[in-house]
Amino acid sequence: MSPAGTTRAKKAPAPQKTARTAAKKTTTMKKTKSARGPTTRVPAAGPDTAHRMELLEDMLRIRRFEERCVELYSAAKIRGFVHLYIGEEAVAVGVNEALTPEDAVVSTYREHGHALARGITAEAVMAEMYGRTTGCSGGRGGSMHLFDASRRFYGGNAIVAGGLPLAAGLALADHMRGQTHVTCCFFGDGAFAEGEFHETANLAALWKLPLLLICENNLYAMGTALERHEAQTDLAMRATSYGMVAWAVDGMDVEAVERAARQAVEGIRAGTGPHFLELRTYRFRAHSMYDPDRYREKGEIEQWKSRDPISLLTDRMRENRELSDEDVARIEQRITAEVDHAVEAAEQAPEEPVGHLLHHVTSSSARAVG
């Protein structure tokens, strides 16, 4: 996806804006080498510009797709639980840059961003949210259960931490067959309170599994703030206690995320076992469409919005004279067309006949007709 990306870790990003908000919410905000990087500037244009342009487009696609989801939800076209990723786009996009198509991904119920970054089309995701047969899960999963076996995208797990053991097993299978694939598992800070996280962290480290653990620390487990659900809020430090390499990263800076993910994946492929990244991020919207968001201060939300991952990148690119208004307009236009097309296709897509209700319960029923 990014030909220039392999050298990126050595190149210089713009100096990182303050991550003070994150530091306030957690006990320690270690600015690691990977999160901050050296401060030398690179000249504009070249392959790096093209790559940053891709990162921008990938993040914007997620943002605009989800904004459309909000409209469609209000219009009752989409139902069920819908968990928006807006604000966290840098994590999915940055991490995906470090993965190959042969790697596996296990995700959460807030996974539109992960799915789109992985290359599942807006059309397939939108159709799934419409519950149509053309959806990436045939309409059986909905927003929380997006799957694509051909892309090794294993969902869409709506049990907090429930995807972690599964990811360990995918990694185990690759490990046992001598393959160098990596399994990447996304989960939130809330997963730290679940036994399945700790069981899996121990198992993966014990067996040196090729597992990339991506903790999206958005500071809230639904409505419960990190310091109200964890006695020790330094999550990366806790992960190291399992004997794995772990560090915290500015999850609002897509380039920092990519650098960290590449570094972690490199370590995993070299056979040094699971790596853990704590991505300090924030969701700008409520937990789900049902959430009145009474538990967060407006000021806190605004503070984080000032570090919007998309603005962070566009500001940097403009500063480097890598991005013009025309560039942005062109990308926006392309994405609008893509999302428009996804909605139109979903509107037209067929619903599954009720006679198919019992399909896919077992493999034999999956093949059953009528």
Partner 1 sequence: MGGGRTHEEKTTYREAMREALREALRSDDRVFLMGEDVGRYGGCFGVSLGLLEEFGPERVRDTPLSESAFVGAGIGAALAGMRPIVEIMTVNFSLLALDQILNNAATLLHMSGGQLPVPLVIRMTTGAGRQLAAQHSHSLEGWYAHIPGIRVLAPATLEDARHMLAPALADPDPVLIFEHGSLYNVSGELRPPSEAMDLDHAAIRRAGTDISLITYGGSLPKALAAADELAAEGIRAEVIDLRALRPLDDAAITASVARTHRAVVIDEAWRTGSLAAEVSARIAEGSFYELDAPVERVCSAEVPIPYARRLEQAALPQTADIVAAAHRAVD
Judged by CB, which is closer to partner 1: 79, or 360? 360
For the CB of residue 159, give the shortest distance to partner 1 in the complex, in Å.
5
| Residue 151 and residue 102 in contact, taking contact as beta carbons nearer than 8 Å | no
How many residues bind partner 1, per CB under 8 A? 45
3-state secondary structure of 352: coil
Sole binder of partner 1 in the list 121, 202, 240, 288 (CB under 8 A): 202
Contacts of 150 (CB under 8 A, 6+ apart): none
Residue (200 or 320) nearer to partner 1, CB: 200
State the pairing for strand pair 220-221/224-225: antiparallel
**CA distance linking residue 157 with residue 27, whole number of Å:** 29
70: its two tokens: 């909000």
At position 65, the amino acid (one-letter code) is F
Angle, CA 170 vertex, CA 168 and CA 172 arms, to 5°: 65
| Angle, CA of 128, 91 and 19, to the nearest 5° | 140
Phi, psi of 320 (to 5 degrees): -85, 5
Q: Is 174 in the site for partner 1 (CB under 8 A)?
A: yes
Stretch that binds partner 1, among 24-32, 91-99, 163-171, 254-262 (CB under 8 A): 163-171
Among 44, 270, 329, 361, binds partner 1 (CB under 8 A): 361
Q: Does 119 sit near partner 1 (CB under 8 A)? A: no
User: Which residue's CB is nearer to partner 1, number 162 or number 223?
Assistant: 162
User: Rule CB under 8 A: is residue 148 a binding residue for partner 1?
Assistant: yes
Window 51-90: contact mask with partner 1 (x via CB under 8 A): ----------------------------------------
What is the C-alpha to C-alpha distance for residues 137 and 132, in angstroms, rounded to an integer?
A: 9
Phi-psi region of 178 (alpha: psi -120 to 50; beta: other; left: phi over 0): left
Residue 123, interface with partner 1 (CB under 8 A)? Answer: no
Segment contacting partner 1 (CB under 8 A): 7-15, 81-89, 160-168, 339-347?
Answer: 160-168
Q: Which residues are at the interface with partner 1 (CB under 8 A)? A: 104, 106, 135-141, 145, 147-149, 154-157, 159, 162, 164-174, 176, 183, 195-196, 199-200, 202-203, 206, 359-363, 366
